[in-house]
Amino acid sequence: MREILEKIAQRVSDDIKALPDSFDLGRDLGPGADGTPTCVIDKVAEDVILGCVKELDLPYNVLSEEAGFIDRAGDMTLVVDPIDGTHNAVLGIPFYSVSLALGKGSMKDVRAGLIRNLVSGEVFFAEKGRGAFRNRKRIKVREFDPARSTFLVYMGMYSHPDTMKVARGSTKTRSLGCASLEMCMVAEGRVDAYYMNCEVHEKSIRVVDIAASALVLREAGGEIVDLGGKYLDMPFDLRSRSNFLAMGDACVKEVVL
């Protein structure tokens, strides 16, 4: 399973890097299946992935940010965010990824997840029950130490005012604009938590964004919960949205929620 996901991610990486400098990554192509605007870079990456699935004749359905659900009469579904952090790519912030997960019908039964940082080339991978890895090296979350804490938060026009409380509750705070890689930072114990709290439901996270990184985080010993503190599951459905807290150490929940 790993080989297939790696191959797809590699192809996305190759094709994105081959785009000419003059290419307008951010050109708006109108709304995708999930209703958010599609940029050229999203479309290029998704086309590569859909091309791969066909070419390798993979027995999977596909759920992707832009194209929606593609029924290929498969038993499993490849859940895809072709580019997580599109706006970073457009702005020149070197922090965006492709995110790929394989599962039956919802986040909780995802069997494998892979996230590739499209700038550094780092690959995060997890298979259910077999641990989480960065570039084939096992990763683990860290214990929470309030005196040396770092939280990542979602920030923007729609962030809930509680975000400020969370941001001020840690020694350092960042808002990096790429949920999948931010979750992986929690998984490898670089930071303590990632918090997303949007006031507007349609701006909260979709399953395509975090299906892969939620498995990586859980296999690294962390947890992801909704803002009521309950185990987060999301169906493979682009209409489903959720706020959440991803954390390395369960005690972060007491501090944040």
Residues lying near a second copy in the complex (CB under 8 A): 87-88, 91-95, 119-120, 150, 153, 155-159, 161, 163-164, 167-177, 185, 190-191
What is the closest distance, in whole angstroms, from the C-beta atom of residue 175 to a second copy in the complex?
A: 4
| Residue at token pair 């493979």 | 236
β-bridge mates for residue 123, sequence order = 116
Closer residue to a second copy, CB minimum distance, 184 or 211: 184
Give CA angle at 165 (160, 169), nearest 5°.
Answer: 140
Closer residue to a second copy, CB minimum distance, 182 or 219: 182
Closer residue to a second copy, CB minimum distance, 24 or 109: 24
Closer residue to a second copy, CB minimum distance, 151 or 236: 151
Closer residue to a second copy, CB minimum distance, 78 or 167: 167
What is the closest distance, in whole angstroms, from the C-beta atom of residue 87 to a second copy in the complex?
A: 6
β-bridge mates for residue 64, sequence order = 68, 80
What is the closest distance, in whole angstroms, from the C-beta atom of residue 137 to a second copy in the complex?
A: 12
H helix runs in 56-108, sequence order: 86-91
What is the closest distance, in whole angstroms, from the C-beta atom of residue 27 to a second copy in the complex?
A: 13
What is the closest distance, in whole angstroms, from the C-beta atom of residue 98 to a second copy in the complex?
A: 17
**Distance from chain centroid for Cα 52:** 20
Contacts of 72 (CB under 8 A, 6+ apart): 53, 58, 59, 60, 61, 62
DSSP 159: B
| 76-84 and 132-134 beta bridge pairing | unpaired
β-bridge mates for residue 246, sequence order = 194, 224
Contacts of 23 (CB under 8 A, 6+ apart): 40
β-bridge mates for residue 81, sequence order = 99
What is the closest distance, in whole angstroms, from the C-beta atom of residue 123 to a second copy in the complex?
A: 14
Closer residue to a second copy, CB minimum distance, 120 or 231: 120
What is the closest distance, in whole angstroms, from the C-beta atom of residue 109 to a second copy in the complex?
A: 31
Closer residue to a second copy, CB minimum distance, 130 or 172: 172
Distance CA 92, CA 205 (A): 23
| 76-84 and 60-64 beta bridge pairing | parallel
